[in-house]
Structure 1
Amino acid sequence: MGNYDNVISYSEVKGYWRPLEGANPYDGEIGNVSSGTECKMEFRCQLQRVDAVKTIIKAIHPYEEPIINVIPLL
Structure 2
Amino acid sequence: MYKLAVFVPPSHLESLKEALFAAGAGRIGNYGRCAWQTLGEGQFMALEGADPFIGDVGELERVSEYKVEMVCTDELIRTVVKVLKQAHPYETPAYEVWRIEDL
Q: Normalising by the residue count of structure 1, what TM-score does the alignment of the two structures yield?
A: 0.93
| Alpha-carbon distance in 2 for matches of 1:29, 1:7 | 35
Identical aligned residues as a percent: 31
Residue 25 of structure 2: aligned partner:
none
Pair 1:40-2:53 in alignment: no
- Computed over aligned residues only, the root mean square deviation of the Cα atoms, in angstroms, reads 0.9
Which consecutive residues of structure 2, in runs of 5 or more, have no partner in the other structure?
A: 1-27
Runs of 4+ in 1 over 4 A off after TM superposition: none
Q: Deviations over 1:1-50 (max 9, x none)?
A: 22322210101110100000110000111111001101110000101111
How many pairs does the alignment contain? 74
Larger proportion of strand? 2
Task: Give 2:58's aligned amino acid.
Answer: G
For structure 1, the 5+ residue unaligned runs are: none
Q: Secondary structure at the match of 1:54?
A: helix
